[in-house]
Amino acid sequence: MSLSTTSGFRLLPGRLSREQQQALLDEVLAKTKDAPFVHQTTPGGKPMSVAMTSFGDLGWTSDAKGYRYEPAHPATGRAWPAMPAILIELWAELADPEVPPDACLINFYNADAKMGLHQDKDEADLRFPVLSVSLGDTALFRLGGPRRGDPTASMKLTSGDVCLLAGASRMFHHGVDRILPGSSQLIPGGGRINLTLRRAAPSS
């Protein structure tokens, strides 16, 4: 049996066309003029190599006070930009047709950025899936299991890939070992953008 059948993990390679990737990238880059990517710090005080911003009602935030979702950008104090319509539609199709996402975390990876193995558990109701969209350079992604020491599998996430983390896979450890610089021409200057749609607040 495949990983997807057993765990609720679904990888949809090339789910977004080249034209859809370009349109989404253009919208993301336009909105990040108002909500710039920032290197947040871990609660321990180390700057993250991945630069982040958010769209939607709530944005993921990390600082000395801890990890949480906030209604405003940490540097500008302004509300986050609205979520792109194509992402809301993808969520309704693949994740949950009833309850919309309220947070979209946007990660930017340059050639040196990585994300250590972690679980996503800052959301109020962990029964909602997470939906990921990759743009630009290919990532070497690592997916483990519910316990930190579980065996991991490596896979590539390439531009236009969509990944659904539902069911048991929602609590799997995961990370990005590195990106492959020069593997895509989509983003001017290179790099990778990953967008994750989430339900951060309770649904009722």
For the segment 122-181, give every residue that binds ligand MD3 (CB under 6 A).
Answer: 130, 132, 139, 163, 165, 169-170, 172, 174, 176
- By DSSP bridging, strand 51-55 and strand 153-157 are unpaired
Edge-to-edge strands of the sheet including 139-143?
115-118, 174-179, 139-143, 153-157
Say whether residue 120 binds Fe ion (CB under 5 A): yes
CB 41 within 8 A of CB 52: no
Beta carbon nearer to ligand MD3, 27 or 135: 135
Beta carbon nearer to Fe ion, 15 or 173: 173
Say whether residue 123 binds Fe ion (CB under 5 A): no
Residues 6+ apart with CB under 8 A from 27: 84
Beta carbon nearer to ligand MD3, 57 or 170: 170
Rounded Cα–Cα distance for residues 111 and 148 (Å): 26
Which residues of this protein are in contact with ligand MD3, per CB under 6 A?
105, 107, 115, 120, 130, 132, 139, 163, 165, 169-170, 172, 174, 176, 194, 196
Q: Which residues lie near Fe ion (CB under 5 A)?
A: 120
